[in-house]
Amino acid sequence: MGGRRRPRDSGCRQAASMELANSLPLLFAPSVTVAAGLLRSEVELGPSETMRMLSARHHRRTEFASGRSYAREALAALGLEAPDIAGDARHGPDWPAPAVGSISHAGGFAAAVVALKGSALSLGLDIEVAVPLPERLVDKICLPSERAGLASPTGDAAKLLFVMKEAVYKAYAPMTGVRLGFHEIEVRPDWAGQRFQALVAERGNQPQWTISGRFARLGGLLAAGSWIPPTPATESASTTR
C-alpha cells in the first residue's frame, strides 16, 4: 500500500532515497538483504509480470515494476536470479527457492527485502507516506487497547500502527494462506525502542502467532519490518517448551 505524496524537489527526493536505503536494513537482521530507492521508469518485466500489469494504469505499473526491479537487485546480492517474479495481490510474490521476501512502495519510492529460508520463514515490509490516518479509519484499524495507547488519534502513531499491521500481514499471509482483518492483529509497540510485537489471532487450524518487528520514521515516510524466524513463536509451540 502507499500514497502518492512526494518530496517536492529532486535533491530532497534523492536524500530521502538514500535515507530509505540506509535505514531499512536496521529494521531486520543482518542476514536480510535490502534494495530500495526512487521509482524506476524503465524496467523490463518478465512474462507473468507483464500479464499481471496488462490493464494497470501507468503509475501502478511503475510502482510494480520498480518493486520487482529492487527485488531482483536484492536477490542478486544473495547470488539468486529471478527474471520473472510471479505472484498475486493476495499471496504476494513467488520468490525463487530458497528465498523469502517482501516488496513495498509508497510516495515515489520502492523497496524489497529478501533472505534465505534458513534465516527466516517469511518477511514483511511496509512503507507508507507519513500523513495521519483519517480519523474515521482509526477505529477500523486500531483495537480499543491500541487506541487507548495513542497520545492522539490524529498523529502519526495511528498510521504507524497501520504500517506495523501491514508488515505483519505481509509476513503471515503468504506462509499460511490466511487473510487477516486489522482487528485480528494486536500490535504492542515499544515507542521508545522502535520495536513491536504483534499477536495474530487464532484462525482455523492456525494457532495464535507472535510476530516481532521494528519500525522507523524516515522523514516523509513511515516504515515497518517484521519477520517469522525458522522456529515461529506460536501458542502451540510455546506450550511445548
C-alpha cell at 94: 513467488
How far apart, in whole angstroms, are the C-alpha atoms of residue 189 and residue 191? 6
The answer to which of 37-51, 142-156, 174-188 has the lowest mean pLDDT is 142-156
Angle at 65 between CA 62 and CA 71, to 5 degrees: 140
How far apart, in whole angstroms, are the C-alpha atoms of residue 125 and residue 24? 9
Domain of 38, CATH number, reads 3.90.470.20
pLDDT mean over 175-195: 95
pLDDT tens, position by position, 55-114: 999 999 999 999 999 999 999 999 999 999 998 767 789 999 999 999 999 999 999 999
Q: Which domain holds residue 237?
A: 1-241
Domains held by the chain: number? 1
Give the rounded percent of residues in the chain with a pLDDT score beyond 90: 80
- Which pairs count as long-range contacts for 193-200, CB under 8 Å and 24+ apart, including other chains? 196/164, 196/224, 198/164, 198/165, 198/168, 198/226, 200/168, 200/172
How far apart, in whole angstroms, are the C-alpha atoms of residue 15 and residue 13? 5
